[in-house]
Amino acid sequence: MEETFEHFSFPIIGSIAPSFEAETTQGKISFPNDYKGKWIILFSHPSDFTPVCTTEFMAFASMGEEFESLNTQLVGLSIDGITSHIAWLRTIKEKIEYKGMKNVCVKFPLIADLKMDIAKKYGMIQETSSDTKTVRAVFIIDPDSKVRAIFYYPSSVGRNIEEIKRALIALQTSDGFKVSIPVNWQAGDDVIIPTENTCQGAMSALNSEDKTCLDWFLCLKRLPKERVFKKLLNSKKE
């Protein structure tokens, strides 16, 4: 007999992040309202005391101050309970050393979702994966509580936290400077400016000295790294 699965919807890019209240390792939270005005990275992991998840949490926590400087709140989730979460995070701090990371204290909240209500709201349980564990989902949510980027990884593959950070900075740069971000972009690289929508504007763009046009529809300009981070810092203060 063919196995059947319950289907769950999940947020799409541009939608408002589903709200919920939850118990976490940092106390009760009302999501996303508690973090209005901040960017949020909400991410799920399959289970506590699992090897891949342990390396990921160490990396996220070790980069905590970097995310904080980008006006960003990290929030983790799994379908384990608070007691399990606390014991696991204590083990990470007291016993685990990996790639130069040790004595790592996880300060961001880790949600307990024993009934899987939140995981189902966010599509973190998928029919091709285990029906009792969340996949490695990542949602980048902006200060207006809109979902801006979504990543999914299988349980066997750890995430690249540097890439999640790069995507966050790219989104903040795109918003702050009204530009688009080209492939493999890093802060300090050229950015893409909006395409001209008239013949006169296109010709003017091709002849401009303050930008590099590969053709009329693809023009780039310099955006120094210092300007990017100065803008992001000012946005954090506002």
Residues belonging to the active site: 53
What distance in Å separates the CA atoms of residue 226 and residue 176, rounded to the nearest whole number?
Answer: 14
> Which among 80, 68, 143 is positioned nearest to 107, based on CA atoms?
68
